Amino acid sequence: MPLEVPDPEYMFSGHVACPGCGAAMAMKFVLKALGEKTMMVLPACCWSIIAGAYPQSALRIPVIHSAFETGGAVASGVRAALDMKGDTETTVLTWAGDGGTFDIGFQALSGAVERNEDFIYVCYDNEAYMNTGVQRSSSTPYGAWTTTTPGSDWKKMRKKNIVEALVAHRIPYAATASIAFPEDLVYKVKKAKWIKGSRFLHIFSSCPTGWGLPSELSVKIARMAVQTNIFPIYEVEDGLRYTINFMSKGYLVNEYFKLQGRFKHLTEEDLNQIQEMVNDDWDLLLRKAGLYQE
Ligand SMILES: Cc1ncc(C[n+]2csc(CCOP(=O)(O)OP(=O)(O)O)c2C)c(N)n1
Ligand code: SF4
Ligand SMILES: [Mg+2]
């Protein structure tokens, strides 16, 4: 498996992301992998702002800004229009946040992938509605502070497993990836590019602003999420075949939580409970990949 990050850039400097924004890094790597024959559907999210206001744009590809809940539907329409024109070369890419994917955009996404529409859907996951001021989403992890889960009302529900929800549709390709593992990310996007039908990528994208994290730790925290099994990186082909791309040495979760202001209220007891949840989820993934050992 050749692992490399291509040189050409399709994202200009001058964008307006916060320093250390994982979503900006994710975009840079995904476009390097896809190249210029890409058309992007962009439901409302931080990236609607990061890209810049028309007629300026930080992106060197065509972008359609769409309504928040319509990422799957608009991409289906763009694909159909390109097919009518005989353009089978251009890749249609939806680029949506976790709110636009896990929550409000889920119906349109589920409908589109059930039809096995031919597009790549990327969810860059910063684990809350960041663009509107850090409200919780169903991607926000157990234990997190947000402006809608403040103080002792920190989130008590688990993060929704969006990849499993997509896998249940038996789509040809679903994968997780991380800004801390760029070669693996680029490899997966390139692989997805040549598969027909619905392809889904879930990219862990640190958000220093919303997580109370020093911007220089953005990549480090993303790496720790993988090393602790909080965010394992893996692929699922045809809803059946699981491949885990990084086998962690099983670092404990404490350090990951202690570096982020959004978790500063958690006690040792809370962290022990979270460690158990992470261990259970990891064991389940190992079973699916046929790697579990008693
Ligand atoms: C129907 C509708 N409801 C609410 C909004 C306001 N809105 C715009 S972006 C956004 C948050 C998006 O969250 P997410 O998808 O996680 O992306 P992020 O901002 O975190 O990058 C919201 C609530 C909207 N544009 N349309
Ligand atoms: S709020 Fe978070 S996701 Fe949005 S631009 Fe800033 S760092 Fe990036
Ligand atoms: Mg978000």
183 contact partners, CB below 8 Å, separation of at least 6: 3, 4, 5
**Side chain identity, residue 120:** I
Atom 2, ligand 1: residue with shortest CA distance: 68
Q: Which ligand is nearest to the CA of 100?
A: 1
Cis (ω within 30 of 0) for the bond into 55?
Answer: yes
Ligand 1 site-directed mutation target among 129, 159, 162, 203, most atoms within 8 Å of CB: 129
- Cα 76 to averaged position of ligand 1 atoms, centre (Å): 21
Report CA(131)–ligand 1 centroid distance (Å). Answer: 6
pLDDT tens string for the chain (294 positions)?
A: 556 898 999 999 889 999 999 999 999 999 999 999 999 999 999 999 999 988 889 999 999 999 999 999 999 999 999 999 999 999 999 999 999 999 999 999 999 999 999 999 999 999 999 999 999 999 999 999 999 999 999 999 999 999 999 999 999 999 999 999 999 999 999 999 999 999 999 999 999 999 999 999 999 999 999 999 999 999 999 999 999 999 988 899 999 999 999 999 999 999 999 999 999 999 999 999 999 988
131 in ligand 1 pocket by Cβ < 6 Å?
yes
Whose atoms come closest to the Cα of 126: which ligand? 3
Cα of 104 to ligand 1 centre, how many Å? 9
pTM of the prediction?
A: 0.98
- CA–centroid distance, 85 to ligand 3, in Å, is 34
CB crowding 271-282: b at 16 or more within 10 Å, else e: beebbebbeebb
